[in-house]
Amino acid sequence: MNIQWFPGHMTKTKRMIAENIRLCDAVIELCDARCPKSSRNPMLPSLIGNKKLLLIINKSDIADPIQTQKWIERYKNEGVYAIALSCNDAKGIGKVFDAVKELLKEKIERDKARGYVNKPPRIMVCGIPNVGKSSFINKLYGKAAAKAGDRPGVTRGKQWITLKNGMELLDTPGILWPRFEDKDVALKLAFTGAIKDEVLDCEELCANLCKYLAEKYPEKLTERYKVELTEGLTGFEILEKICRKRGFIQKGNEVDFLRGANVVLDEFRGAKLGKITLE
């Protein structure tokens, strides 16, 4: 990963969350809509105890909308309140505020009964690297956001940021570690670009992606690369066909797999093949 997750880093994240969670009313966890399960950290619920959790399935602009809807329903059945979002979309941020209100309905009622009206909810953002935490926080800040001063009891240097509509956000997100020890999870995260290519075999990675796409989204693969997909092709055979179509050939009619792999991975990550979900 871009960040090496040594036990020391995990301990630091756990401590950061433990120190700040009692000051928060809710946690927003971001995940990647292209792999809404693999891009989560299953330890988060135990780190946040009884605090409310809102799951934001981000990057929904480049994921398969049917699958995103299915994930929202699946999470709902599991008792997790999830909404889809795209930080690239100018609209949509309003539904985050609505969702937080809905999530904290009971607390807001309780506060009201005690005479606290419009008490701004305090939120912490969490997620593994590359899910869009920084983009999301920037989007929430908007232009009119003002930096609130340090609050007593908050770790020094931590800032609460008051958003336009009164929500308060901890300015440092909790960076969770991915479950990269699970090969299938690591593969999906690598497809999306969350794991640096330097530590991976690009050609093998791309062959795996081609195999998946040929199974789940064959029309997108054929449309983009104009290759004929016959039954039983291996990932490498599909990649070879793509390379030949694109003219990625070296001396001696040798296929330039590395070049092809880099191009396909790049195009997949840039959503040039369309809206695709990996799980």
Ligand X SMILES: Nc1nc2c(ncn2[C@@H]2O[C@H](COP(=O)(O)OP(=O)(O)O)[C@@H](O)[C@H]2O)c(=O)[nH]1
Two tokens, residue 174: 């909790």
> How far apart (Å, rounded) are the C-alpha atoms in residues 110 and 269?
45
C-alpha torsion angle, residues 248, 249, 254, 259 (rounded to 10): -30
| Residue whose CB is less far from ligand X, 75 or 248 | 75
Contact between 134 and Mg ion per CB under 5 A:
yes
Q: How many positions of this chain bind ligand X (CB under 6 A)? A: 15
Residue 40 engages ligand X in binding (rule: CB under 6 A): no
86, interface contact from ligand X, Mg ion, none, CB < 5-8 Å by kind: ligand X
**Residue from 121, 132, 178, 235 binding ligand X (CB under 6 A):** 132
Binding partner at 279 among Mg ion, ligand X, none, C-beta below 5 to 8 Å by kind: none
Q: Residue 173 CB: number of other CB atoms within 10 A? A: 19
CB of 166 to Mg ion, least distance (A): 25
Instruction: Report yes or no: 16 and 184 within 8 Å, Cβ to Cβ.
Output: no
CA distance 265 to 117: 51
Judged by CB under 6 A, the chain residues 65 through 94 that form the site for ligand X are 86-88
Identify which of residues 128 and 278 has a Cβ nearer to Mg ion in the complex: 128
Is the Cβ of residue 59 or residue 241 nearer to ligand X in the bound state?
59
CB 104 within 8 A of CB 52: yes
Chain residue whose CB lies nearest ligand X: 132
Helix (H, G, I), strand (E, B) or coil at 173: coil
133 near ligand X (CB under 6 A) = yes
Q: How far apart are CA 34 and CA 57, in angstroms?
A: 9
Q: State which H helix or E strand residue 205 sits in.
A: helix 202-216
Which partner from the list Mg ion, ligand X, none does 129 bind, CB cut-off 5 to 8 Å by kind? ligand X
* Contacts to Mg ion by CB under 5 A: 133-134
* Contacts to ligand X by CB under 6 A: 58-59, 61-62, 86-88, 127, 129-135
